[in-house]
Amino acid sequence: MPVAISVDPPEVSAHLRKTQGYTFLFLSDPKAEVIRRYDLLHPRAGPEDNDISRPAEFLLDSTGTVRWANFTEDFRVRPGGQQLLAAAQSLK
């Protein structure tokens, strides 16, 4: 199940989900606690020099172990559906 984690407040994420038609869960991490745990903090890279998360995708197994990760410095560069599906299938 896909989940997004963002420093944005829940109402901002809810608006994004609605306007973009996303159907997966968005979690709010305003203090960037989880984002820091995965070493994804991008200090002062957001609006008004706010801290945000670096773009990343993870696939976790049923125990919560990261089995696949994708990192990029450019939020516009993301793996395609086929790449994510292939990574997920390789976990079986």
User: Quick count: other Cβ atoms within 10 Å of Cβ 53?
Assistant: 22
Q: What is the pLDDT of residues 22-72, one digit of tens each?
A: 888 999 999 999 999 988 898 988 889 988 888 888 888 888 888 888 887
Q: Residue 75's pLDDT band (boundaries 50, 70, 90)?
A: low
Alpha helices in 1-92 (DSSP H): 10-20, 33-37, 81-90
> What CATH number does the domain located at 3-90 have?
3.40.30.10
Q: Side chain identity at 58, as an amino acid letter?
A: F
Place of tokens 């903090």: 41
